[in-house]
């Protein structure tokens, strides 16, 4: 464990062709609107205007509570009862809201009209509104739209829908280039760009770009590498524009990052000698950092509820680099075209489940009593009360966890609840004696 990995370490039989339990029932997951919380930080000149209800506004305010002392780049155009009843022209009211917003915030260069459950139910045509408003405010402001409705999307699919909406309006380019796809914290993105530059890959673009004026285009000369496993629709949109995807495991942990970088390096003809020279030091740091947390994780079992679509790459990291045993790996949707390389590296054994019937999955989790259960906020406290150690899945999206320098932090996120439980158990007898 915690040694350099090679392709020869691939298990005799991975999980790519393993049967998948597909469940369709009650589910416990946030809607796609929550993606705005990290997207609005990433795109510095964008604004996300949710066309929805007061419930949508409360969700965003609660989820983005850390931004209370800053002026955020998102808001909600409230659909009142008269809008829902068809007593007012919602398009006219939306136009007025956009006009007021852009007059107050002239720094906005990209405006996203984000659909919600209420706007979907009343069939408000936001695509037509975006076209109309783009004609009015172009070229200073580009107006795009996508759905973050819980009817249409779950949690991270909001980012997928957002990035997909940007692809059709990108300029055409035949330039040979690498496109990194997926919103990463700036510090992580900078680390990835530094590694790629050291490998000699000269033209690298990022979707989403931090600013609207970034030189971002796409065409038949574009190859792209996903950094997030939930971007299936964005990948399909890029392929329709002529771009080609680099197939690789996702860059979580030392192994995933190395295989991801190696696939990119092979595409651009980077020599093995240069690849080893560039990656040797950060790989060693990553292995050392992971080893510290793996002492707690080695031999422990883990159960994944579906939440973010990060579950399969994370299970690969935890089972192969940290010595854990996966009991069930649940994901909202399993896109084998994207996560296939990760599935190939997970030894056959865990149950793969797609979608959710929460009551049935809770029964399986209680029966398994894994050492650690990864789940949403709504399930964590009840399961903790039943004696199960849990990890909030949402934290894995909001925390920098990609590439070499974050590998130790990623492992520590899973080790922390187990260490906390061990400390509480150690204190329990002493507390009882004191009480007595």
- Token pair for residue 429? 């007898």
Q: Between β-strands 301-304 and 20-24, what pairing exists: parallel, antiparallel or unpaired? A: unpaired
Extract long-range pairs of 37-40: CB within 8 Å, 24+ residues apart: 37/63, 37/64, 37/398, 38/159, 38/183, 38/397, 38/398, 39/158, 39/159, 39/162, 39/183, 39/208, 40/72, 40/73, 40/74
Tell me the average pLDDT across 21-29: 84
pLDDT digits (tens, 9 = 90+) for 186-224: 999 999 999 999 999 999 999 999 999 999 999 999 999
Q: Which residue, 348, 347, 383, is CA-closest to 368?
A: 383
> Given CA atoms 93, 95, 98, 99 in this order, what sign does their dihedral have?
negative
Q: Which residue, 375, 334, 381, is CA-closest to 358?
A: 375
Q: Which residue, 244, 113, 238, is CA-closest to 168?
A: 238
pLDDT of residue 423: 84
Share above pLDDT 70 across residues of the chain, in percent, rounded to a whole number? 91
pLDDT digits (tens, 9 = 90+) for 46-87: 999 999 888 888 778 776 664 444 557 888 887 765 555 454
Q: Is a pLDDT exceeding 80 seen at residue 185?
A: yes
pLDDT digits (tens, 9 = 90+) for 359-403: 999 999 999 999 999 998 889 999 999 999 999 998 898 899 999
Tell me the average pLDDT across 320-328: 97
* pTM: predicted TM-score of the whole model, two decimal places: 0.90
Output 314 or 5, whichever has higher pLDDT: 314
Structure-derived torsion over alpha carbons of residues 240, 243, 247, 253, reported in degrees to the nearest 10 = -110
**DSSP collapsed to 3 states, 145-209:** EEECCCCCCECCHHHHHHHHHHHHHCCECCCCEEEEECCCCHHHHHHHHHHHHHCCCCCEEEECC
pLDDT of residue 89: 67
Q: Is a pLDDT exceeding 50 seen at residue 2?
A: no
pLDDT of residue 83: 52
Rg of the chain, C-alpha, whole Å: 23
pLDDT of residue 69: 47
pLDDT of residue 78: 76
């Amino acid at each position: 464990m915690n040694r350099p990995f090679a392709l020869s370490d691939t298990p005799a039989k991975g999980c790519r062709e393993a049967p998948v339990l597909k469940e369709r029932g009650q589910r416990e997951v946030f809607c796609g609107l929550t993606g705005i919380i990290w997207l609005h930080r990433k795109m510095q000149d964008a604004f996300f205007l949710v066309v929805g209800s007061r419930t949508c506004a409360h969700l965003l305010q609660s989820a983005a509570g850390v931004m209370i002392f800053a002026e955020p780049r998102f808001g909600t155009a409230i659909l009142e009862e008269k809008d829902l009843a068809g007593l007012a022209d919602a398009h006219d009211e939306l136009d007025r809201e956009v006009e007021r917003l852009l007059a107050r915030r002239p720094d906005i260069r990209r405006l996203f009209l984000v659909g919600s459950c209420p706007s979907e139910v009343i069939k408000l045509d936001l695509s037509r509104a975006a076209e109309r408003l783009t004609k009015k405010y172009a070229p200073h402001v580009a107006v795009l739209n996508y759905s973050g409705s819980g009817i249409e999307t779950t949690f991270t699919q909001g980012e997928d829908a957002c990035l997909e909406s940007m692809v059709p309006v990108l300029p055409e380019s035949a330039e040979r280039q690498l496109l990194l796809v997926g919103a990463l914290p700036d510090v992580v993105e900078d680390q990835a760009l530094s590694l790629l530059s050291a490998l000699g890959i000269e033209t690298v673009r990022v979707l989403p770009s931090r600013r609207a004026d970034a030189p971002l285009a796409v065409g038949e000369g574009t190859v792209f590498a996903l950094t997030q496993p939930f971007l299936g629709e964005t990948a399909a949109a890029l392929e329709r524009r002529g771009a080609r995807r680099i197939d690789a495991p996702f860059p979580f942990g030392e192994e995933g990052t190395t295989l991801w970088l190696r696939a990119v390096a092979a595409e651009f003809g980077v020599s093995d000698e240069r690849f080893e020279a560039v990656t040797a030091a950060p790989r060693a740091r990553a292995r050392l950092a992971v080893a510290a947390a793996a002492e707690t994780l080695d031999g422990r079992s883990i159960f994944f509820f579906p939440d973010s679509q990060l579950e399969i790459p994370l299970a690969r990291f935890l089972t192969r680099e940290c010595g854990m045993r996966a009991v069930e790996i649940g994901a909202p949707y399993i896109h084998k075209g994207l996560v296939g390389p990760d599935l190939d590296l997970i030894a056959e054994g865990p149950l793969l489940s797609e979608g959710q019937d929460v009551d049935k999955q809770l029964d399986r989790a209680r029966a398994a009593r894994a050492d650690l259960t990864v789940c949403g906020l709504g399930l964590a406290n009840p399961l903790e009360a039943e004696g199960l150690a849990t990890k909030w899945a949402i934290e894995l999206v909001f925390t920098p966890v990609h590439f070499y320098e974050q590998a130790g932090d990623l492992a520590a996120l899973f080790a922390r609840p187990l260490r906390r439980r061990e400390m509480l158990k150690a204190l329990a007898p002493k507390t009882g004696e004191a009480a007595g």
